[in-house]
Amino acid sequence: MRKPEKIAGFTVEAFPHVKATQVEWVIQFRDLPSVRAVGASLPEAKERLAIKWEKTAEAFRAAGVPVPKPSRPRGNKRVLDAIRRLADRKSKPIF
């Protein structure tokens, strides 16, 4: 299985888009679909997305808002919470 492409830590999704008789590539972040770019080829679209992300991050900083970070998988939250609760219990030894 191929490792997914990433830009600035965000996983990238690419879609071909047919416009009239040309194929364009639309590329966006999986976690931030509002940050997207279009290019005639996939490498061009990736380059444009990287530039657009730089400008977007700069705009967040200029506004004094924290720059979004990519979400990270944390596994099954319910299982982890149950394990933490059990670990926090103070009980007598069984034997």
pTM, to two decimals? 0.68
Going by pLDDT thresholds of 50, 70 and 90, the confidence category of residue 66 is very high
In angstroms, rounded to a whole number, what is the distance separating the alpha carbons of residues 59 and 48? 17
Residue where the block lists tokens 């590539």: 25
In angstroms, rounded to a whole number, what is the distance separating the alpha carbons of residues 72 and 60? 21
In angstroms, rounded to a whole number, what is the distance separating the alpha carbons of residues 32 and 6? 13
The number of beta carbons lying within 10 Å of the beta carbon of residue 27 is 24
pLDDT digits (tens, 9 = 90+) for 5-49: 788 888 888 888 888 888 899 999 888 888 899 999 989 999 999
CA distances in angstroms from 63 to 10, 36, 60, listed in the order given: 21, 20, 5
Closest to 38 in 3D by CA, of 27, 50, 52: 27
CB 50 within 8 Å of CB 36: no
For the domain spanning 6-88, the CATH number is 3.30.160.250
